[in-house]
Structure 1
Amino acid sequence: MKKRSLGNTGLEVSEVAFGGVEIGMPYGIGNTENPSEKDAIRLLQTSLDNGINFFDTARLYGNSEQIMGKAFTGRRHEVILASKCRHFRDAGGALPPDALLKPFIENSLHESLEALQTDYIDVYMLHQADLEILSRPLIAEAFAELKKKGVIRATGASVYTPEETATAIRSGQWDVIQLPFNLMNQSHGACFEEAREKKVGVVVRSVLLKGLLSDRGKNLHPALREVEQYIDRYRQFTGGDYPDLPALATRFVLSFPEVASVLVGIDKMEYLQDALVTASYPDLGVNEHKQLLKLAYPDPDFLNLHHWDKMGWLK
């Protein structure tokens, strides 16, 4: 398993990171349950034994943090843990007043530390960091203070839109950005050069578009017929070094030198084995890379899986 530098954090992370949401709660297309605690611990420990050292979780990923805490007892020094603060917005969408922001962040971090059975977190991130959240200086100041105390080693923001990515990078306040990027939706790629210049670490999620860039991307709802047809275009690049679409999609993202690591959702041993094999595949060729850059979906705004789910298109 190759490792890459995570921006200017001093951390060396595995190219493939263990995405911890699936071990804590049902997540993704067609998933209705998560593995047992015993099976999840086995997955985590087997991942570590096979070179994956970067594990991503969050306060709101069900029991994910607790399971990781149990899995890495006695091996904390071998892993790099990333977790995320609780969502700031209440049911009505309002943010806490300034006076409550710091206690909110500190309480959430304390909960994560207790669940993970550790006294520090390597990368502590905002969860769903929208433009308003990124513009609140007290939030960034609270994270910076935690870093100064040593209770976290690096600050980060998990974002959704390219505008949020650009804002977080330009602020100079966040060491790591976690963002969605894949064959279909390459819009965040416009921010990669600036991230490299400012030495901000880039971690990518949604590499497989929640499973659409796999066999699950077939027989979709009629409203997604055009999307399904577009996904078929990528299959011409499979075979040889990249036997299937997930392998191609993963290696495409890793072909960007600015990307430190890609999050792969792993809730079954077969998925772990697939991820390990994919990590061993050769780098994407220059010509293939250029061709795939041109094959980004022409309407990335339509690729809103949350909306699709609300519409019942993912059932």
Structure 2
Amino acid sequence: MKTRILGRTGLSVSEIAFGGVEIGMPYGLGAHEMPDEASAIQLLQKAVESGINFFDTARHYGESERLMGLAFQDIRDRVILATKCVHFKDEEGNIPAYPELKAIVRESLEESLKNLKTDYVDVFMVHYADMDILQNEDVARVFSEIQGEGHVKNIGVSVYKVEETAKAIQSGIWDAIQLPFNLMDQSHGDCFQYADEKGVGIIVRSVLMRGMLTERKFKMHKALKEVENHLEAYRAVAEVHFDNFPAYATKFALKHPQVSSVLVGIDKEEYLHASIRNLEGNALSNELFKESQQMKYPDPSFLNLAEWDRKGWL
């Protein structure tokens, strides 16, 4: 397993990061059988044995933090842990004033440290930083102060929109950004060079678009016909040049030198081994890389799976 440096953090992270949501709670498209506690712990430890050293979790990921704590309590020095704070906006969507905000964030961190059985986390992130959060001086102040107290080595944000990524980089505050990026939706790629210049580490999620960029074919609503056509075009490329579709999708993301690690949701040993195998063989040629960039979906804002779900398209 190769490693890359996560921006100015200096952390050497594995190219594949273990996405911890699926061991902690039901997630993704279709039926999802949760691993039991013993199986989850064994899976996490096998990931370390296989060369993965970067693990992503969050307070909102059910049992994920607790399971990682149990798995890594004796090998903490071999893993890099990223977790996310609880959502702190109130029911009206307002951000609390500084004293309350700091209390919420501090309590969330303390709970994470307890669950993870550690006295520090390598990356502590805002769990979905929208523009309100990114423009809020109290949020920046709270996370910067907590970083200076020793239990948080680096701070970061998880975002959805390109303008959020650009704002987070421009602020100069955040050390790392977790963002969605894949063959279909390449919009955040416009910010990669800017992030590199500012020393901000890039962690990519949704590289398989919740399973759509795999051999698994979903029965798609008629409103998604154009999406289905795009998926099939990429699938045809994968069949010619790669062992499987996920290998194509993963290698495309990692072809970008500014990307430090690609998050993959893993809840079974077979998925662990498959994710590692996806790195084997040759990388994308420059020609195929450019072709893949040109094939991107023309309207990335339409690729909103949560919205599709609300409309009954999934």
Q: TM-score per shorter chain, which class?
A: over 0.9
CA–CA distance in 2 between the matches of 1:216 and 1:88? 36
CA–CA distance in 1 between the matches of 2:226 and 2:296? 14
- CA deviation after TM superposition for structure 1 residue 224, in Å: 1.5
CA–CA distance in 2 between the matches of 1:242 and 1:135? 43
- CA deviation after TM superposition for structure 1 residue 124, in Å: 0.4
- CA deviation after TM superposition for structure 1 residue 237, in Å: 1.9
Structure 1 counterpart of 2:140:
140
* Aligned amino acid, residue 45 of structure 2: Q
Structure 2 counterpart of 1:90:
90
Query: Could you report, residue by residue, the CA deviation over 1:214-250 in whole angstroms, capped at 9, with x for unpaired residues?
Result: 1334322222222111101112322465211111001
C-alpha change, 1:173 and 1:31, in structure 2 (3 Å) is: farther
* Aligned amino acid, residue 107 of structure 2: N
Structure 1 counterpart of 2:129:
129
CA–CA distance in 2 between the matches of 1:268 and 1:223? 32
Structure 2 counterpart of 1:233:
233
- Is 2:296 aligned against 1:296? yes
Structure 2 counterpart of 1:42:
42
CA–CA distance in 2 between the matches of 1:135 and 1:264? 30
3-state secondary structure, aligned to 1:301: helix
Query: Could you report, residue by residue, the CA deviation over 1:102-146 in whole angstroms, capped at 9, with x for unpaired residues?
Result: 111100000100000000000000001000001111211221122
Higher deviation after alignment, 149-158 or 211-220:
211-220
Q: Which runs of 5+ in 2 are unaligned?
A: none
3-state secondary structure, aligned to 1:213: coil
Higher deviation after alignment, 119-128 or 84-93:
84-93
Query: Could you report, residue by residue, the CA deviation over 1:147-205 in whole angstroms, capped at 9, with x for unpaired residues?
Result: 22221111100000000000000000000000000000000000001001001000000
CA–CA distance in 2 between the matches of 1:228 and 1:72? 41
* Aligned amino acid, residue 292 of structure 2: L
CA–CA distance in 1 between the matches of 2:273 and 2:262? 16
- Is 2:44 aligned against 1:15? no
Q: Within 5 Å, give how 1:75-114 maps onto structure 2.
A: 75-114=75-114
- Is 2:301 aligned against 1:307? no
Higher deviation after alignment, 219-228 or 287-296:
219-228
3-state secondary structure, aligned to 2:96: coil
Higher deviation after alignment, 49-58 or 221-230:
221-230
3-state secondary structure, aligned to 1:183: coil
- CA deviation after TM superposition for structure 1 residue 268, in Å: 1.0
CA–CA distance in 1 between the matches of 2:90 and 2:286? 46
* Aligned amino acid, residue 264 of structure 2: V
Aligned length: 314
**What TM-score results when the alignment is normalised by the length of structure 1?**
0.97
Contact 2:55 2:82 in 1 (8 A): yes
CA–CA distance in 2 between the matches of 1:219 and 1:225? 10
Query: Could you report, residue by residue, the CA deviation over 1:54-113 in whole angstroms, capped at 9, with x for unpaired residues?
Result: 000000000000000000121000000000000112333222223311111100000100
CA–CA distance in 1 between the matches of 2:106 and 2:29? 34
CA–CA distance in 2 between the matches of 1:35 and 1:117? 21
CA–CA distance in 2 between the matches of 1:31 and 1:262? 24
Q: Which runs of 5+ in 1 are unaligned?
A: none
* Aligned amino acid, residue 234 of structure 2: Y
* Aligned amino acid, residue 244 of structure 2: D
* Aligned amino acid, residue 194 of structure 2: E
Percent identity of equivalent pairs: 53
Question: Stretches of 4+ moved more than 6 A in 1?
Answer: none
Q: Within 5 Å, give how 1:1-315 maps onto structure 2.
A: 1-239=1-239, 242-314=242-314
- CA deviation after TM superposition for structure 1 residue 253, in Å: 0.3
Contact 2:166 2:191 in 1 (8 A): yes
RMSD (Å) for aligned C-alpha atoms: 1.2
CA–CA distance in 2 between the matches of 1:250 and 1:244? 10
* Aligned amino acid, residue 158 of structure 1: S
- CA deviation after TM superposition for structure 1 residue 276, in Å: 1.0
Contact 2:25 2:34 in 1 (8 A): yes
Contact 1:218 1:228 in 2 (8 A): no
**What TM-score results when the alignment is normalised by the length of structure 2?**
0.97
Contact 2:73 2:118 in 1 (8 A): no
Higher deviation after alignment, 159-168 or 273-282:
273-282
